[in-house]
Amino acid sequence: MTERETTRLLAWSTELRRVHQRIREALRVTQEAVSAGHPSERAGRDLLLYCHGFCAALDGHHRGEDRTLFPAIEQAHPQLAPVLRALERDHAVIAGLLGELRAAVDRSAPAEELDRHLEGVAAIMENHFRYEERRLLEVLETLELHAAVGEVFGPL
C-alpha cells in the first residue's frame, strides 16, 4: 500500500472527527444566537439561518452515514451490524428532535423553548457522537471506501 493510500484510509477516521467538531461548533453558534435573543427582525432571520443551517448539517451528516458509510462498514465488518443499527436508531431520534426544533423556529417560539430543544438535541447528539467514535474510529482507519467526503459525511 502506498503512503497516499494509507493517508486516504486514515482520513475517514480523521474526517469523522472533523465533521463532528464542525457540527458541535454549529450547535454552539446556534445556542449563542438563541441566548442573544434580540427581538429585532434581523435577529429573527439570523436565528432562522443558524437553526435551519445546523439542522440541515446534522441531518445531512446522518443521511450520508446511513446511505454510504454504514453499508460499507457492515460489508467489511458484519459483526458491527448491531452497533450500526443502534446508530441508525439514534439518527431517527435526532431527526425527530430536529423536526421539533425546526417547527419551533418556524413559529417563532420563545428563546426559552428554543433553548430546551437545542439542549435536548445537544445531549443526544453528543452521546451519539461519542459512542460512534468509540465504536467506529478504529474501523474507519482501515475501511476502503471510494466515495466523496460530502457523500459519506454530509455537506459540512
pTM of the model: 0.86
**pLDDT digits 0-9 by tens, 93-120:** 999 999 999 898 888 888 889 899 999 9
**pLDDT digits 0-9 by tens, 13-44:** 999 999 999 999 999 988 888 887 654 455 56
CA dihedral 44, 25, 90, 150 (to 10 degrees): 100
The Cα 90–Cα 123 span in angstroms is 12
Grid cell listed for 36: 442573544
